[in-house]
Amino acid sequence: MKDCTPLNKDCGSLCGHACCRADETGENGMLLFPGEERYYQGNPDFTIIEGKLICDGRCDRDLRPLGCRIFPLVILSGAKTKLDIRAWPVCPLMHSGKKGLRQDFAEKVQQAADLLCEDEEQKAFIEKTTAEIREYEALKKLI
């Protein structure tokens, strides 16, 4: 996953790295998967708020958390992957759909999903995330 990105370039250059910057509330950022928080604690380039990692959008790309590496995809229960509905406000790649992403990127995210769902702690996190995604999807249907 290290060198595989959604496009053939840093997609953050399209949106000003909106997915990892703090929003007007000082929050936003990328969800950390279980075990990742320890890699960022004490690093002045990152802020952790409620399990989310926030940076100014100019981090060392080799230090990105998994949520950043797979964005705008999300891993759901059953090791399924799809575009993350929560990405619509910040990610210009959403308009192209999953088919607009590099195929090797989508395949590597699927491989990561398969591996993560074999671990009970990761699987529980993914199930919680899936429930949140379903809530967003239900709210969208009401609008």
Per residue in 3-42, pLDDT (tens digit) is: 676 666 677 777 777 776 666 776 677 889 999 999 999 8
What average pLDDT score do residues 91-117 get?
Answer: 92
Which is higher by pLDDT, 17 or 105?
A: 105
pLDDT digits (tens, 9 = 90+) for 66-78: 998 999 999 999 9
Across 1-143, the runs of DSSP E, i.e. the strands, are: 30-31, 47-49, 52-54, 73-76, 80-83
The pLDDT of residue 93:
86
Domain boundaries, the chain: 12-142
Q: How far apart are CA 133 and CA 89, in angstroms?
A: 15
The pLDDT of residue 44:
87
Q: How far apart are CA 17 and CA 41, in angstroms?
A: 21
The pLDDT of residue 49:
86
